[in-house]
Chain A
Amino acid sequence: MKEESKEFTPNILYALCSWCGSGGSETAGAMKLHYPENVKPVRFYCTGGIDPVYIFRALLEGADGVVVSGCHPGDCHFDTGNYRARRRIAAVKTILNTLGLDGDRVWLRWVGHGEGKRFVDTASEFDEHIQEKGPSPLKGIRGV
């Protein structure tokens, strides 16, 4: 249950690879573990295929934060896609910070197929984290 006092419900995108990340989210489902409804999973094929543009676009279009989960190091379905993702997310954070925006609105955390609890914990922690930060200054900047 969300607290009554919560003034702001962040809009959060949870980008998942089709293997471990989605698997974790489904395990969470099967275990009936709860997480805030404002965290919305979107399925990608591999985290390595997540173009930094997607993350920027999400932030521009109204997301207050984006969290990405793929396979643990060594477990990637495509061998090294998750390492690419790690590097790209690091770059995205740097770019955001450089622009005076907040790189910490983007998280990357590995979640394995069976790790329903870790998935839910990540979703909840990230939600709290973004709540503390408040709405994204970029929100709706494209005026769409």
Chain B
Amino acid sequence: MIREIPRVGVYVCHCGANIAAKVDVEEVARFASKLDFVESARDYKFMCSDPGQQLVVDDIREKGLNRIVVASCSPRMHEKTFRKACQKAGLNPYYFQMACIREHDAWVTEDPGEATDKAKELVQGAVSRVLHHESLVPRTVDINPNVLVIGGGIAGMQAALTIADAGKTVYLVEREPCIGGNMAKFDKTFPTLDCAACILTPKMVAVGQHENIELLTYSEVVDVEGFVGNFKATVRKKPRYVDMDKCTGCGVCNEKCPAKAISEFDQGLSKRKAIYSPFPQAVPNTPVIDRDMCIYFKKGKCRACEKFCEADAIDFDQQEEKITLDVGAIIVATGFKPFDPSVAERYGYGKYPEVYTSLEFERVNNATGPTEGQIRLKDGRVPETMAIIHCVGSRDKNHNAYCSRVCCMYSMKYAHLIREKTGANVYEFYIDIRSPGKGYEEFYNRVQSEGVQFIRGNVAGVTDKAIGEDEKGKLIVLAEDSLSGRFLRVPVDAVVLSVGLEAAEGAEAVARMVGISQDQDGWFNELHPKLAPQATPSDGIFLAGCCQGPKDIPDTVSTANGAAAEALSLIMREKVEVEAAVSSIDAERCMGCRQCETICMFDAIEYDSALNVCVVNEAICKGCGLCASTCPNKAIGVRHFGNEQILSEMEGVML
């Protein structure tokens, strides 16, 4: 219903050349000026700039405009900007409509004439729609000040610490028995070669001891409900079979346990017990019992750990527990998993024992690892030559097309460590060296000067089929040296595969739970790749670290602090404005059939039995419109997405 005579202002943005190079913006403005109720129409270089916004403000004041249409980019980018401009000029922000002529037209249409026509149609749609807009008042709801962080790698830990230091409560949920993530497995870290444990352990301890951090390890988030400011997360705590309050972390249980299993933490290169902590400095240092490997759980007899535990902490009856957490914001920091090279058979992983993945090699190098940090072949010999193969699973159309960003650098870290520890000859087989970062190129130069041989070219395969005498008993790396054009056979004692990074196991389930999306490679999508790299299209959900794409530790920590800052900025507001676009029920038309009540997944509709009508609770309604499209009497309308508004836009764009 149109209540006052609309006076529409239309602004067609050039977006520099983004729109204007394809769309004849002047022509679109001319066209718009002839539409019904349009008072003024003009084009401008950058509508989102201050002078651009000021145009809107001035025109509203001077020309008495009461409806505004800006034809520019996606509303996701600047709807808020222009709504604010309207508000500044005293116009209700909902009297604004955006026509998306960049993403939906200029960027995706080949022919300029057609693009101009389409822009006119989209503008006409927006003008017809805005005529039917109503003045709405955004609602506010209280924000719960607690934050949930999913994933306890360096990203999740850093984010948790930053928020906790600001005095806010953080729940940090990690599915493994302890925190630290992949970084905890490393020996040294490029480019400074600080020992990973030396920089990580203090952080892990700080997380474990922080009064504002509630650490939930061996736990998984299984459900998230609600919305920005008011999420309800359900966490499943797996039974450790060890009482965390009683356990002193003395380690006797581990010593006495007779059952052995393969150590996941050591990448299968060593054995652990059935009752175990992944590594000695683990936080928390309470071990867990691996139910599948425990002799008592398998055969009903043993209980050695229990017998020797002086703290009486072993509890075979512990059950899985489910708890609910109320939080206002969620940071997803689920990290990555390394590419599994057994699917790329040519590298011989799994076939030749001396072919290692990079993560295995981290463990080999690590003082607490299977070889206590010594680089030794499986038969105990010190290697004389080693090959490091870059881009395994990355920059490879058969696997992942993207560059994993950290492998060049960690490969050179290995070259340095091998030279230092064994003096062996090292060959780096690379495609391109990627070393952007502070001190990274310098590290590359340093490794070159240490006598490491860099061979540029794709590796065709690894074999043990010797031809010459010098190849006997060795692994031979077959590669083309693309700089000299020669085909090489390089005999070595061991090979390290610099495997790329992939989204963590279970990332898809996490995405679904919190309502975010993944890109074609499985990484989580940010709201905007440049300008909103930590936010997501779901308000109140933020990203940190490698879950959004491969990153080194410095970038991981930066994004973690970025996500923490965004989460803090949200919860410190105490109240959040939520969409005014909610449903409303016309009591005259409602017959109390209650179909809307059943269909609403937010329980936002209540039935008033006295009046036999349904009523919307606006504080809960999210405006999805399910009820409106379900109502058999058409008694329900969604504000801002009402029938008049939608139908008039549809008709407008069809000209």
Contacts and interface: CB of A to CB of B under 8 A. Distances in A.
B102 A29 contact: yes
A50 interface: yes
B520 to A, nearest CB: 6
A96 to B, nearest CB: 17
A33 B193 CA distance: 44
B596 to A, nearest CB: 12
Q: Which of A26, A84, A88 has the most CB of B within 10 A?
A: A26
B252 interface: no
A38 to B, nearest CB: 8
Interface stretch (B109-117, B241-249, B326-334): B109-117
A37 B118 contact: yes
Contact of A45 (B105, B108, B111, B641): B641
Interface stretch (A100-108, A111-119, A126-134): A111-119
A26 B103 contact: yes
Given A88-B629, A115-B520, A44 B538 contact: no
Contacts of B624: 45-46, 48-49, 77-78, 81
B626 A44 contact: no
A1 interface: yes
A58 B258 CA distance: 73
Contacts of A34: 108-110
B208 interface: no
B517 A44 contact: no
A142 to B, nearest CB: 10
A79 B538 CA distance: 13
A92 to B, nearest CB: 12
Interface string A36-64: 01101111111011111110011001110
Nearest to B538: A77
Contact of A63 (B75, B519, B601, B654): B654
B76 interface: yes
Interface stretch (B312-320, B434-442, B645-653): B645-653
A61 B651 contact: yes
A12 to B, nearest CB: 9
A22 interface: yes
Contacts of B622: 78
Contacts, number: 141
Contacts of A25: 103-104
Contacts of A58: 650, 654
A113 B517 CA distance: 6
A113 B525 contact: yes
Interface footprint category on B: 35 or more
Given A20-B517, A51-B643, A113-B525, A32 B625 contact: no
Contacts of A11: 654
Nearest to B107: A29
B120 to A, nearest CB: 11
Nearest to A40: B653
Given A42-B653, A63-B654, A23 B517 contact: yes
A114 B623 CA distance: 24
A13 B111 contact: no
A78 B110 CA distance: 35
A61 B649 CA distance: 12
A51 B628 contact: yes
Interface in B586-607: 599, 601
Q: Which of A42, A79, A112 has the most CB of B within 10 A?
A: A42
Interface in B619-647: 622-626, 628-630, 638, 641, 643, 646-647
Interface string A63-78: 1000000000011011
B623 A79 contact: no
A30 interface: yes
A63 B651 CA distance: 9
A49 B105 contact: no
Given A28-B108, A37-B109, A74-B512, A46 B626 contact: yes
Contacts of B511: 75
Nearest to B115: A37
Contacts of A26: 74, 76, 103
A29 to B, nearest CB: 3
Contacts of A23: 517, 525, 537
A2 B109 CA distance: 11
B108 A48 contact: no
B122 interface: yes
Contact of A112 (B517, B628, B649): B517
B626 A49 contact: yes
A112 to B, nearest CB: 5
Nearest to A11: B654
Contacts of A13: 650, 653-654
A67 B118 CA distance: 17
A46 B517 contact: no
Given A26-B74, A41-B100, A49 B117 contact: no
Contact of B625 (A37, A42, A48, A112): A48
Given A37-B105, A37-B109, A114-B520, A45 B638 contact: yes
Contacts of B517: 20, 23, 75, 112-114
Contact of B601 (A22, A57, A79): A79
Given A13-B653, A37-B109, A40-B121, A49 B628 contact: yes
A120 B108 contact: yes
Given A45-B581, A113-B517, A32 B107 contact: yes
Contacts of B52: none
The 4 closest A-B CB pairs, nearest first, are A49-B625, A29-B103, A113-B517, A78-B624
Given A37-B111, A49-B626, A57-B651, 17 more contacts: A13-B650, A23-B537, A25-B104, A26-B76, A29-B102, A29-B104, A32-B107, A42-B653, A45-B623, A45-B641, A48-B624, A48-B626, A49-B624, A51-B628, A54-B643, A75-B512, A114-B517
Interface of B: 74-76, 100, 102-105, 107-111, 114-115, 117-118, 121-122, 125, 511-512, 515, 517-520, 525, 537-538, 581, 599, 601, 622-626, 628-630, 638, 641, 643, 646-647, 649-651, 653-654
27 contacts: A23-B517, A23-B537, A28-B108, A29-B108, A34-B109, A37-B105, A37-B115, A40-B125, A41-B100, A41-B104, A43-B75, A50-B625, A51-B643, A57-B647, A58-B650, A61-B650, A63-B650, A75-B512, A77-B538, A78-B624, A84-B599, A84-B626, A112-B517, A112-B518, A113-B537, A114-B518, A120-B108
